[in-house]
Structure 1
Amino acid sequence: MLTGRKWNWFDWLNSLFMIAVCVAMIYPFLHMGSLSLSTSNVSMTQLRLLPEEMTLANYKKVLTNDFVLSGFVNTLKRTAAGTALSLLAIVFTAYPLAKRYFPHRTFWTMFIVFTMFFSGGLIPNYLLVKSLGLMNTTWALILPGLISTFSMIIARNYFMSLPDSLEESAKIDGANELSILFKIIIPISMPIIATLTLWTAVAHWNAWFDSMIYMTDTKKHVLQVVMRRVVLEGTQDMVDINTLEDSNASVNPETIKAATVMVTIIPIIMFYPFLQKYFVKGVLVGSLKG
């Protein structure tokens, strides 16, 4: 809003609407956090912002559970490896397609975009993963969706917005294509790289369905599958309350579920502030230019 401009009715309505949206999004998160810090005698029918009696027994139980720990490690491995490999594959695909001298560039671009609308389906993908011997491996969660077509198009548009003079000057100095890509293009493309990193990391962190169908060993399930079993199915062997070391710290399944949800979402939320300053610029430039 410009300084000194008077607010009209639209500004007030828009502000009230945005405040209502923020409250609707933040309040359930605060309630879940309050519930995760509450003791077993908390009323489940009341919405709260702060717990009446605070305890860390729920988090202690969740963070010492074997299923949660193994799921957390599996999710970290998947997110780290999947994000790094996906970014590398996206850049290696988008950079050549951004060059006007690339042979049949339009055909290959449309060929890749075609996959956004049509795919082989679940059963062919499952049979492919099984025939390649990837069942019960992290590769089954990474390789089938290694390249996001949408992310590749965004990266391609961003690379097309860069001036050709940068590449021409580097070639005059004797640089090859890989040197130009890693020493010039990628360093000045941090907004789109950071944006794609955030998108890919969040997608891998939140994914659960592929782990559920490709992983038959429960010790290899990702954290989201563990959370699903705890929250939706209420599987008691996942949260055996009787194993608490402190017998005075009573918990119940609902507070355990809330703590599991918080443990699942807090790490990825903490990841966002480090990339926030690049996010808006990367999205705008990558989607509008080219």
Structure 2
Amino acid sequence: MRSRLFDWFNAVFLIGLGLITVLPLLYVLAGSFASESEIASRHFFLWPEKFVTTTYDYIFGTDTFVRALMVTVVVTAVGTAIQVMLTLTMAYPLSKSYLPGRTLVLNLVIFTLVFTGGMIPLYLVVRDLGLLDSYWALVLPLAINPFYLIIVKTFFQALPEALEEAARIDGANDLQVFLRIVLPLSKPIIATFSLFYAVAIWNDYMSPLLYISDSHKWTLQMLVRQLTAPEADSANALEALQGYAFPEQGVKFAIIVIATVPILLFYPFLQKHFAKGVLIGSVKE
């Protein structure tokens, strides 16, 4: 009886927690397809009385939104590729015990997990490198996550040494071993951390806020921030089209939906690798 009560309590608690998480998202989704008058008159709803696409027609008809969406897609794709490549190419040599200076480098990596310079020193570094108002400022300053690096390194250490030795006997050099032997065996870990890096870049608004002053280089998250901030002038931020009444609340809902849905759609394709990749890289057997 106690076990059943405990199971029922867990089920009710998890369902309630799930509803708390999902209901606001459903409200935002429903609000993006509702009229401004309905949003103003109904405080909460999960299904609009009448589906309208005025908001989406409005935002997709503005140059600012389309440009911000394309900037975010390109920065996410390029940034994820660079970050994954740098993480893999640094983790692989560090997984070899015979690498000179390996312990020192690992200690420096671990040091950055505990201590960071902070926002102002990082800004000064970006400024002195001439990266302000550059898309590279959104990718390079945090190109390698030290926590991810350690997990990937541990994953490489768990790979059988016999495979690499056999490849070297056949005449392969270190680069060929890495490209032809190690990377094909690392698909789960690559898929996992590609997702981690992509989500981080896609959702990042602090970097554009700090380093990008040109509104023509805004990312989607920066545009969302400008539209939803209490002091924001949403119509001016989005360059309202002539002939349209500005749907202020609907625009906020629709842009939040568009900023969220791509990651939600991308995740299922990597889900099968997700748990496996993290667990494989977490513990060395």
TM-score above 0.5, yes or no:
yes
Quote the residue 1:11 is aligned against: 7
Displacement of 1:289: 2.4
**Counterpart Cα distance in 2 of 1:285 and 1:243:** 55
* Worse overlay, 39-48 or 161-170: 39-48
The 5 A counterparts of 1:57-96 are 57-96=54-93
Displacement of 1:107: 2.2
**Counterpart Cα distance in 2 of 1:112 and 1:95:** 14
Q: Is the 8 A contact 2:30 2:46 kept in 1?
A: yes
Q: Is the 8 A contact 1:239 1:256 kept in 2?
A: no
Structure 1 unaligned runs (5+)? 1-5
Change (3 A) 1:241 1:215: closer
Quote the residue 2:255 is aligned against: 260
CA RMSD of aligned residues (A): 1.8
Corresponding position: 1:204 with 2:201 = yes
**Counterpart Cα distance in 1 of 2:86 and 2:160:** 23
TM-score by length of 2: 0.93
**Counterpart Cα distance in 1 of 2:213 and 2:5:** 58
Corresponding position: 1:42 with 2:38 = yes
The 5 A counterparts of 1:88-237 are 88-232=85-229, 233-235=231-233, 236-237=235-236
Match of 2:22 among 26, 51, 75: 26
Q: Is the 8 A contact 1:40 1:251 kept in 2?
A: no
Matched residue SS, 1:144: coil
Q: Is the 8 A contact 2:96 2:157 kept in 1?
A: yes
Change (3 A) 1:242 1:188: closer
Match of 2:49 among 46, 49, 52: 52
Structure 2 unaligned runs (5+)? none
**Counterpart Cα distance in 2 of 1:145 and 1:167:** 31
**Counterpart Cα distance in 1 of 2:271 and 2:84:** 18
Q: Is the 8 A contact 1:71 1:221 kept in 2?
A: yes
Map Cα deviations across residues 205-231 of structure 1 (whole Å, 9 max, x no partner): 001111112111110111111001111
**Counterpart Cα distance in 1 of 2:52 and 2:246:** 9
Quote the residue 1:238 is aligned against: 237
Displacement of 1:157: 1.1
**Counterpart Cα distance in 2 of 1:206 and 1:145:** 14
* Worse overlay, 145-154 or 36-45: 36-45
